[in-house]
Structure 1
């Protein structure tokens, strides 16, 4: 079968990981075009990954009109999204789009409508859904073997200034929207649809940094339709150089303690004589995410995280932001 003609829109640092994965999957996909508003960035990608053979663009309209793509990887910052999803959908181009898919709910659901109307395959970059330990817990919960989940906590700790745009709420949406959304997406994936959210956010550690208008500490409580609770706590003021995201899930018959998406210990609380199950994997969950999309395109199957899931997780973090602003609980 022919390789999928693939383009990358947005040639920043994160796009390199997708390009490396596509290069490793060269029997399935071929990088034929790169686009960035800075031409030199797109050309550097073309030189590095295709020996200069790929086409280079500075505008996604020209990219989608001229490159005859099968698949587009969208690595734009949150404020950079315009009509690229709608344009791709009109041309039958499948999509992998990094999170968050937008900065407001209306734009996010317009993307969903366009993609679903066109019938294209989409994948949102919530790669932690593809961790080995996360996958195994999802299977146990879906089977009913360990009962329903009742409580999940998730932590995200880092300490970095990030890019200039990241520090500006109007461009990134804030740490919850741009970064901690990964943890909220895992809550939705493992526990279910959210019903209420109460959140507090403050900027305590970066008040003297010019242009830093996003929160650097937050604590959020999520109520789910099945009565379960979720707690997400995060900061950008923890240990410099370390990126910590871990979580715990308590179900009726199981307590799962994760150090990351690939590593966890499952303790079966209804069977005291059963030894804990330890999951330790080196799975490349970003590659698994890409493979899931390529398989769905080839087989006309479903992806694990279509745009609809991206819009739902965006709505949850936006509700948390509204709660933080009002100091009140928000119902979804």
Structure 2
């Protein structure tokens, strides 16, 4: 079965998806909906065989289309899914976050109860080769994880069409927009749901001198988040978005009674300083308590995949797994429930940081982002 994608949204992330779909066997982009002229022109270069339409209705009217990708700005994801559901509910890969405001959770539940085809929420970080290696070996290396730490030290938010990613009201806030990936990883790695979130964060450095249509950005650039899980495990996120000089962008460590496993993931190669030579290679390090001594393994990624995107090859591997689900050869690995939990955790963390109080998931009443 050949996959003929209909693509909604071809900004920076959408174009990464186009480049990776082009590498898939038996798949191509058939139709694209992208309202911005500059992004349309770039999308046409990445997917020269695609036709362009102006509405979701026109896209869904193309009979050849048998699966969808939604990669529009955050605030449109849920409404576009609802439109698809009402017209022609095809299998869909929808970019994170699934929604941006607390009051939208009811709409997600309603959608889940009626949508007859697979909906896969794009959580690329699960599929980064070094992260996938850590996930696969974590239980054996640790004897059961009790502490999980995720650190991302990276560059500021990039400039996007209409500067939509500069404002909490359009993104859900940094701990939703950026960090839902990491909250998803926490639940996935620990195989447990969160019970309590405590956070501190804010805007210290980035975008303070910018003005967009009379507004100064309010998007946060750093945070600490601590999460308690039902299993008794604890997890922590450390985010800094003014640390682009770092050698590794993501560092994850998992520790249990018998040892520690960690992975180190470099950022996009296009941002690595040329005068330093070749970009670093991802690593996985296992450090048992007995016998003591770390064991390091490099996890190289196909250069073609690194060239196709900014996520260490993960976008390609995610599409491979999604394509199996569409063809009926595999499960939906990142469900609507997973996507919903990731946003709920981000919203709870934002609320905790704003109020200075821990948020209990059993009793929480989340406030919408500002």
How far apart are 1:231 and its partner, in Å? 1.2
Give the match for residue 35 of structure 1: 33
Give the match for residue 89 of structure 2: 92
Q: Secondary structure at the match of 2:218?
A: coil
Question: Equivalents in 2 of 1:187, 1:32: separation in Å?
Answer: 35
Give the match for residue 156 of structure 1: 152
Question: Equivalents in 2 of 1:297, 1:319: separation in Å?
Answer: 33
Q: Deviations over 1:279-323 (max 9, x none)?
A: 523162211100001011212531221222111111101110111
How far apart are 1:117 and its partner, in Å? 2.9
How far apart are 1:275 and its partner, in Å? 6.5
Q: Which moved more, 1:58-67 or 1:315-324?
A: 58-67
How far apart are 1:232 and its partner, in Å? 0.9
Question: Equivalents in 2 of 1:28, 1:303: separation in Å?
Answer: 19
Q: Contact 1:108/1:311 (CA < 8 Å) preserved in 2?
A: yes
Q: Which moved more, 1:73-82 or 1:239-248?
A: 239-248
Q: Secondary structure at the match of 2:318?
A: helix
Q: Deviations over 1:95-139 (max 9, x none)?
A: 111111110244355345425533312222211111333333333
For the pair 1:276 / 2:295, whether they are aligned, the reply is: yes
Give the match for residue 325 of structure 2: 296
Structure 1 residues 233 and 274, CA gap change in structure 2 (3 angstroms): closer
Give the match for residue 5 of structure 1: 4
Give the match for residue 203 of structure 2: 203
For the pair 1:259 / 2:258, whether they are aligned, the reply is: no
Structure 1 residues 167 and 243, CA gap change in structure 2 (3 angstroms): farther
Question: Equivalents in 2 of 1:299, 1:312: separation in Å?
Answer: 25
How high is the TM-score relative to the length of structure 2? 0.80
Q: Secondary structure at the match of 2:261?
A: strand
Match runs of 1:72-221 below 5 Å: 72-90=68-86, 91-108=88-105, 110-111=107-108, 113-115=110-112, 117-141=114-138, 146-160=142-156, 162-163=158-159, 164-191=163-190, 192-206=192-206, 207-210=208-211, 211-221=216-226
Question: Equivalents in 2 of 1:161, 1:136: separation in Å?
Answer: 28
Give the match for residue 22 of structure 2: 23
Structure 1 residues 161 and 87, CA gap change in structure 2 (3 angstroms): closer
For the pair 1:225 / 2:230, whether they are aligned, the reply is: yes
RMSD of Structure 2 on Structure 1 (CA): 2.6
Question: Equivalents in 1 of 2:324, 2:250: separation in Å?
Answer: 29
Match runs of 1:235-246 below 5 Å: 235-239=240-244, 244-246=249-251
Greater RCO, 1 or 2 (C-alpha within 8 Å, sep 6+): 2
Q: Which moved more, 1:252-261 or 1:226-235?
A: 252-261
Q: Contact 2:134/2:262 (CA < 8 Å) preserved in 1?
A: no
How far apart are 1:84 and its partner, in Å? 1.8
Structure 1 residues 306 and 44, CA gap change in structure 2 (3 angstroms): same
Q: Secondary structure at the match of 1:18?
A: helix
Question: Equivalents in 2 of 1:109, 1:138: separation in Å?
Answer: 31
Question: Equivalents in 2 of 1:80, 1:242: separation in Å?
Answer: 34
Q: Contact 1:55/1:67 (CA < 8 Å) preserved in 2?
A: no
How far apart are 1:325 and its partner, in Å? 1.5
Q: How many residues align?
A: 326
How far apart are 1:15 and its partner, in Å? 1.3
Structure 1 residues 7 and 213, CA gap change in structure 2 (3 angstroms): same
Question: Equivalents in 2 of 1:245, 1:145: separation in Å?
Answer: 20
Q: Deviations over 1:182-225 (max 9, x none)?
A: 22221111122111001111222244433121222211111111
Q: Which moved more, 1:178-187 or 1:219-228?
A: 178-187
Q: Contact 2:285/2:294 (CA < 8 Å) preserved in 1?
A: no
Give the match for residue 308 of structure 1: 337
Unaligned 5+ residue runs, structure 1?
none
Question: Equivalents in 2 of 1:43, 1:102: separation in Å?
Answer: 28
Unaligned 5+ residue runs, structure 2?
267-281, 303-312, 362-370
